[in-house]
Structure 1
Amino acid sequence: MPNSDDWAPLRIGPEGRGGPEELREVLEDLGPDGLADIFVKEKGLVFRGFDVPADDLDAVLDLVLPRRLAYVHGNSPRTKVGGNVYTSTEYPPEFTISMHNEMSYADAWPARLAFYCQVRPGGGGATPVLDAARWLESLDDEVREAFVGGVRYVQNLHDGFGLGKSWQATFETDRREEVETFLGGTDCTWAWQPDGGIRVESVRPATTRHPVTGAEVWFNQADQWHPAGLGDDTAAALAQILPEDELPQNVTFADGSPIPEAYVAQIRDRGLEHAVDVDWAQGDLLLIDNVLLAHGRRPFTGNRRILVAMSD
């Protein structure tokens, strides 16, 4: 795990023969309070050498994420594979997924994330993690000051046929009243569209503070929601199909003014530059504090399969 900023997730290995039984013993000995203290101090933990099989994952997750959350209002493509356990983002393997804190665009987000390596990638495929306070510090003063007022996120979710995710997949329901009930508690505005889709808008801060440490961190997905974050070819192709205001997702400054492409590039590139790669071995478990650490994905070859769970 190369480290350019004098930080890396704490690696914990077995003292005995390993196996999921020993990992459960380690976690039970720590207890909820001990694990919470380590999370705050270390930001991320890698459990390696315990070789946790997929059949034992639920029992392990019950100790680290006892209140697993559904991926409701999630914006990336995933497949649900168990009790609030999902595949990691299903983008083509040749693409990098830039750094982000999970659901930082939402009114509420998970406090912890767990990543489990079910199938090790053939090559590449590391999960980079990034100290989100370091990310904030790395940005030019001009960029940080421009985002002081926050950002406005816009989602255009179709009714089953179109670009991006449908509202049914996003909210894990096909009942409009359940969507409205959920959105009613999230400080956003929405409107059902004539074609059956829904448009959702929300204004969120660009940074937040950790509830325990008080550290201020970069905490938004402006670079991922901005058309410039798609790359020149993809953005140009989408511009031929849809006006910017009708894209599946888009972002502006809070007042509706455009975010310069140069800011988007700086946010994306500085994040990846300061990230620390966690390379995968079969059965590894990575736990991160979702406010203190951002995460992403490096390109890969082979049949990489990483499962993800989230908790409050």
Structure 2
Amino acid sequence: MAIVEYSELQPLDDVVEPNWWAGEAAVDPESYTIDCAGMGLGAADLRRGSSFAQLVRDTYDRVGLVHLTNTGLTELVDMRAAAKLIIDDEMSYEGGANPRGNIEPNVYEIGAPLSAWLHYHHEMAYVGRSTRVISFLAKETLPVPDDGSPSRGATWVSDSVAVTDKLLSTPLGQKLKDLGVCYHRNLTDQEQFLGKTEFGVYNHWQKSFGTDDPNLAASRARDQRLAVEWGDNRLLKTRFYCPAFEYFPGLDRNVLYSSLADHGMWFDTWPLVQHLPYDERPLHMTFGDDSEISRDEIQQWIDLYDEFGSPINWRQGDVGIICNYRFAHGRPGISLHDGEARKLGVVLGNQYDRVGVRTDAW
């Protein structure tokens, strides 16, 4: 087999690129933005029971989304305290999750290259224990246009309740309701890549499950309700069959809780993976009867999330708190200019066992 240099690898043609929105924010930013300029936020404000904490809670309960801006905060520990006004119980990253490194205790990296676009997704929808809320902490940011248009460093959120309502009026929505989905994940063995360029690698099972013991890794996978199979070269193959929707107690209804972020198309702009044909990529996604999702269905699903998308422009010190039921999140690929940096910390919280759908909550 000929040795191929990275510079020779080419992405696939005919990829489905998200548009992120329909040209204007689907949710009014004023409904969830709290401008902290002039508040002089201090330790007392970042404690439960303060008037500021109540404002944050009221906004989150009403919208499912909070954007704290102009906070004056510079340290992640203080931004994390703001996130914890909503997050009751921070989640320790555990088996089955996508790769993330620690920045500080309980603050994680984004876990993806800046150059890759990240399709709209609900955090940890691909395992049996998910999270109710995710928060982003803006440590380093890119310039925000004066006219308020989306910045190159924006995170995007999509109103999953609105997406659910429109999706269920379509044949695709009814198909997802009837069949559910299956997440197919192939986790490589770290030992196979020692001293080698990690072509085609997304996540080693050692990192995903926090162990070098294959038996323990398989056990932790099953704890997440994953079906487990070992392939050649100690490739760990997992499958998770689940509803495409999830019952959300806060609204007493089922909402869409799946997206094509866990399809092979997740890697369409991912270095070292984007050149692979879909059947060789580390992730795949099908309907729950193992039938393939068609190109037209993929496009329709992507378009629906885009239709209800809104940007969050980050300034240093900003904190975003996102209900993982009510909103999906993602972003385009980002190119940095000289002297620029974009660094967001991630805080996960309020882990729960997925219950699927309730037949009386449609």
State whether residues 57 and 86 of structure 2, in contact with CA within 8 Å, keep that contact through their aligned partners in structure 1.
no
Query: What does 1:230-245 align with in structure 2 at a 5 Å threshold?
Result: 230-231=267-268, 237-239=275-277, 244=279
**Which amino acid is 1:227 matched to?**
G
* TM-score, length basis structure 2: 0.75
Query: What does 1:179-194 align with in structure 2 at a 5 Å threshold?
Result: 179-194=217-232
CA distance in 1, matches of 2:303, 2:267: 13
2:281 to 234, 244, 247: 247
- Size of the aligned set, in residue pairs, is 305
Larger helix percent: 1
**Which amino acid is 1:67 matched to?**
D
State whether residues 83 and 321 of structure 2, in contact with CA within 8 Å, keep that contact through their aligned partners in structure 1.
no
Give the C-alpha shift of residue 87 in structure 1.
1.3
**Which amino acid is 2:258 matched to?**
N
**Does residue 147 of the first structure (1) align with residue 157 of the second (2)?**
no
**Does residue 83 of the first structure (1) align with residue 143 of the second (2)?**
no
CA distance in 2, matches of 1:153, 1:17: 45
CA distance in 1, matches of 2:274, 2:89: 42
Please name the residue that 2:165 is paired with.
137
1:110 to 131, 140, 145: 131
Query: What does 1:270-285 align with in structure 2 at a 5 Å threshold?
Result: 270-285=304-319
CA distance in 2, matches of 1:4, 1:61: 23
Structure 1: tracts of 5 or more residues without a match: none
Give the C-alpha shift of residue 133 in structure 1.
1.2
1:288 to 294, 300, 322: 322
CA distance in 1, matches of 2:224, 2:294: 27
CA distance in 2, matches of 1:33, 1:213: 20
% identical equivalent positions: 22
Cα pair distance change 1:152/1:6, threshold 3 Å: closer
State whether residues 182 and 288 of structure 2, in contact with CA within 8 Å, keep that contact through their aligned partners in structure 1.
yes
Higher mean displacement: 10-19 or 80-89: 10-19
CA distance in 1, matches of 2:56, 2:342: 28
Q: Can you list the C-alpha shifts for 1:70-114, whole angstroms capped at 9, x where unaligned?
A: 232465443211222111232233x43221111112112111111
CA distance in 2, matches of 1:174, 1:32: 42
**Per the alignment, in what secondary structure is the counterpart of residue 40 of structure 2?**
coil
CA distance in 1, matches of 2:323, 2:234: 37
CA distance in 2, matches of 1:230, 1:78: 17
Cα pair distance change 1:181/1:232, threshold 3 Å: closer
CA distance in 2, matches of 1:53, 1:175: 40
Q: Can you list the C-alpha shifts for 1:212-269, whole angstroms capped at 9, x where unaligned?
A: 2123321113x12223454499998312xxx72x531111111111111221122123
Please name the residue that 1:213 is paired with.
251
CA distance in 1, matches of 2:331, 2:219: 33
State whether residues 77 and 91 of structure 1, in contact with CA within 8 Å, keep that contact through their aligned partners in structure 2.
no
State whether residues 158 and 198 of structure 1, in contact with CA within 8 Å, keep that contact through their aligned partners in structure 2.
yes
**Does residue 197 of the first structure (1) align with residue 226 of the second (2)?**
no
2:210 to 165, 169, 172: 172
Q: Can you list the C-alpha shifts for 1:97-140, whole angstroms capped at 9, x where unaligned?
A: 22111111211211111111000125511111111011223336
Please name the residue that 1:298 is paired with.
332
Query: What does 1:13-24 align with in structure 2 at a 5 Å threshold?
Result: 13-14=35-36, 16-21=38-43, 23-24=45-46
CA distance in 2, matches of 1:208, 1:173: 30
**Per the alignment, in what secondary structure is the counterpart of residue 250 of structure 2?**
coil
**Does residue 126 of the first structure (1) align with residue 148 of the second (2)?**
no
**Per the alignment, in what secondary structure is the counterpart of residue 299 of structure 2?**
helix
Higher mean displacement: 147-156 or 161-170: 161-170
Q: Can you list the C-alpha shifts for 1:146-168, whole angstroms capped at 9, x where unaligned?
A: 21210111111011135211011
Give the C-alpha shift of residue 311 in structure 1.
0.4
Structure 2: tracts of 5 or more residues without a match: 1-20, 144-150, 351-362
Higher mean displacement: 265-274 or 34-43: 34-43
**Which amino acid is 1:142 matched to?**
P
**Per the alignment, in what secondary structure is the counterpart of residue 229 of structure 2?**
strand
Higher mean displacement: 201-210 or 173-182: 173-182
State whether residues 226 and 264 of structure 1, in contact with CA within 8 Å, keep that contact through their aligned partners in structure 2.
no
Higher mean displacement: 152-161 or 71-80: 71-80
CA distance in 2, matches of 1:174, 1:77: 15
State whether residues 20 and 50 of structure 1, in contact with CA within 8 Å, keep that contact through their aligned partners in structure 2.
no
Cα pair distance change 1:202/1:32, threshold 3 Å: farther
**Cα RMSD between the aligned structures?**
3.0
State whether residues 40 and 213 of structure 1, in contact with CA within 8 Å, keep that contact through their aligned partners in structure 2.
no
